Amino acid sequence: MNAARADADPAHVAAVVEARRVRVVFQPIVSLADGRVLGHEALVRGPAGTGLEPPMALFAAAHAAGRYEALAIVCIQETLRAFAAHGPRGLLFLNMSPRLVQQPGFDPERARRFLGELALDPAGVVIELTEDFPALDLAMLRDSLLLYRAMGFRVALDDLGEGFSTLRLWSELRPEFVKADKHFVSGIARDGVKRQFLRSIQQIAKRCGTKVIAEGIEVAEDLRAARRLGIAFGQGWLIGRPAASLA
């Protein structure tokens, strides 16, 4: 068995999850108007130096091993602990799969106690819904998010424009933030079609009371173009790379 297959072995994946062998890094999200840090997106990595270090590989292996939900819960808990340990600075954007959010049996009191133990305010946490799901029960997801929102959590949609379902989710869920997929951000200074896409997203956002976050800003000319379009916030390597500490 080669190293990659050994890393993805169900028994090995289960051991990684049980031992909580994940690490958390944070990437800043800033205001494009004045550079103020809005918050940080938490990004999880698997065991360093293994085939499970990239998050996509880690979650794919966990899904194949029937440990997806268990891994997701570990990642959420470890992310909250890491954020609290650094001393919160702005908002925490916490990646969550919609299929995890809509799991039955969510206990608001349990979540409130966990956050209380960490001295974290739910109002400082943004649930960032990822699009790693094949099907979605919108009614159940909406009802589940009502429980979170009643506690003070805010909601963001990730990768707007990457798939077909995010526009409907935006309409149905009315999130506080939407993240424009990096495909439509990279190169906007030179690509008129991408600029028009972001301009349209910005116009819809203004009507909905939603703030747009442009992902994947890597060069200064794209930063300036996004700023001219009135995009509120940005994220990317030009602004700040993922790091173990908060910016």
Task: Give residue-wise pLDDT tens across range 138-195.
Answer: 888 888 888 899 999 999 998 876 555 677 788 888 999 999 999 999 999 999 999 9
pTM of the model: 0.93
Counting the structural domains of the chain, the total is: 1
CATH number of the domain bearing residue 214: 3.20.20.450
Is residue 244 one of the residues assigned to a domain? no
231 three-class SS: coil
Taking only the tens of pLDDT, the chain with its 247 residues reads: 455 566 778 898 999 999 999 999 999 999 999 999 999 999 999 999 999 999 999 999 999 999 999 999 999 999 999 999 988 789 999 999 888 887 765 677 788 899 999 999 999 999 999 876 555 678 888 888 888 999 999 999 988 765 556 777 888 889 999 999 999 999 999 999 999 999 999 999 999 999 999 999 999 999 999 999 999 999 999 999 999 988 7
HSE toward the beta carbon, residue 56, CA cutoff 13 A: 2
Is residue 120 one of the residues assigned to a domain? yes
pLDDT of residue 1: 46
Is residue 14 one of the residues assigned to a domain? no
Is residue 13 one of the residues assigned to a domain? no
Is residue 241 one of the residues assigned to a domain? no
Domain that holds residue 197: 27-40+69-234
